[in-house]
Amino acid sequence: MKRTVLKNLLALFSVALLIILLAACGGTVDEPGVDSTPPVEETPSSEETPDAVTPVPVDMEDVTEEVDEEEPSEMPQPGIPDPEAFMTEQVTLALAERLGIDAAEITVESLAAVEWPDASLGCADPDQSYAQVITPGFEITLAAGGDTYTYHTDMQGLFVLCGEDGRPVE
């Protein structure tokens, strides 16, 4: 008895599944005498559309630059194009803001390329630890209002105002 009920339920389930699948496929039955093909729009001719765009032939030599293959060119290096000028400008602006004066009132006393012994840029805070890596940069001394200020920089935009005791000035 249980097997018969299970067989009937399985058959009923199979029929229901088949109906669902057929419905999902979206199959339709055409009615006799009814055209089921969608209408096709015709493309208007160029005489009917006066605003139509016409392609224009272009000679690519007129729009491209000629490359001199005999003279080699070097790709620019990544990073700051002129780190010396960039870092001088950055520390000048920082000092002007610190002192509350116009940057034009500050002069560059000296500028020297330096390889700092670590990431402290030669101006270590004793409470900090620094990566032990040679760090190229600059020592830039600025003058303003009769005083001098020495900045230590790297080549990427970091800098520190270094005091006479070799420690960062807060």
pTM, 2 dp: 0.55
What's the pLDDT at 9?
Answer: 63
Domain of residue 136, residue span: 83-162
**Tens place of pLDDT per residue across the chain (170 aa):** 566 655 666 676 677 777 777 777 665 555 555 555 666 556 555 555 556 788 888 887 777 777 666 766 677 667 677 889 999 999 999 999 999 999 999 999 999 999 999 999 999 999 999 999 999 999 999 999 999 999 999 998 999 999 999 999 98
| 115, part of any domain | yes
What's the pLDDT at 163?
Answer: 93
SS (H, E, C) the chain: CHHHHHHHHHHHHHHHHHHHHHHHHCCCCCCCCCCCCCCCCCCCCCCCCCCCCCCCCCCHHHCCCCCCCCCCCCCCCCCCCCHHHHHHHHHHHHHHHHHCCCHHHCEEEEEEEEEECCCCCCCCCCCCCCCCCCEEEEEEEEEECCEEEEEEEECCCCEEEECCCCCECC
- For the chain, the C-alpha Rg in angstroms (whole number) is 40
| 130, part of any domain | yes
What's the pLDDT at 95?
Answer: 96
| 36, part of any domain | no
Domain count, the chain: 1
Q: For residues 154 and 135, is the Cβ–Cβ distance under 8 A?
A: yes
What's the pLDDT at 49?
Answer: 55
